Amino acid sequence: AVAGVERWSGMNETMNLLIGLAMGLNLLALGSSRLPTVIRAMSLQGVALGVMPLLLEEHFDWRVSLVAVATMAGKGIVIPTLLRRAMRAAQIDREMTPFIGFVPSLLLGASATIVSVALSEALPLRPEHAGSLLAAGAFATVFTGLLLLTGRAKAIAQVCGYLILENGIALLAVLATFG
């Protein structure tokens, strides 16, 4: 158990960097009216989180590597390509009239991120997750996905919201299973 805690602490910095990147991309997605930017933020977030299983495995396992590579290819190449194609077919480039404006969305997202960090500090987490942004990143990403899903009018932005929500759920799964 001690070796697992020591190993996890070494991974904490890289994991926190990836999760911090994902949290920053949440705010980029919330604050942008340009759909290509939202698609790019969702794509980069999916790739960053797709790397995590490779970092968490103690020994090389080809199955974990296969799933990680498939996840990164799907979220980084296939889904964004399909969304861009749909965007071109529908001849839309911007979200002009969202249900919740961009500034309120950004303020809600930033507030949710702050609350998530504060809330995660109060949670009774496993010792190997102490000092990790996993819980905060998961909560903030789930909230961002829900906000995009319900606050945007264009279906493409809503699909990106769903995929960001799924990224948050994946972070919760990592929190629950590794350690």
Picking from 24-38, 53-67, 152-166, which range would have the lowest pLDDT averaged per residue?
53-67
In this prediction, residue 2 carries a pLDDT of 52
- The percent of residues above 90 in pLDDT, for the chain, comes to 71
Residues 20-42 have a mean pLDDT of 96
Average of per-residue pLDDT values in the chain: 90
Q: Are 160 and 144 in contact (CB under 8 A)?
A: no
In this prediction, residue 9 carries a pLDDT of 55
pLDDT exceeds cutoff 60 at 1 = no
In this prediction, residue 54 carries a pLDDT of 87
Q: With bands split at pLDDT 50, 70 and 90, how would you rate the model's confidence at 89?
A: very high
Residues 85-104 have a mean pLDDT of 93
Backbone φ and ψ of 122, nearest 5°: -90, -10
In this prediction, residue 131 carries a pLDDT of 78
Q: What is the dihedral of CA 12, 37, 102, 113, to 10 degrees?
A: 0
In this prediction, residue 174 carries a pLDDT of 85
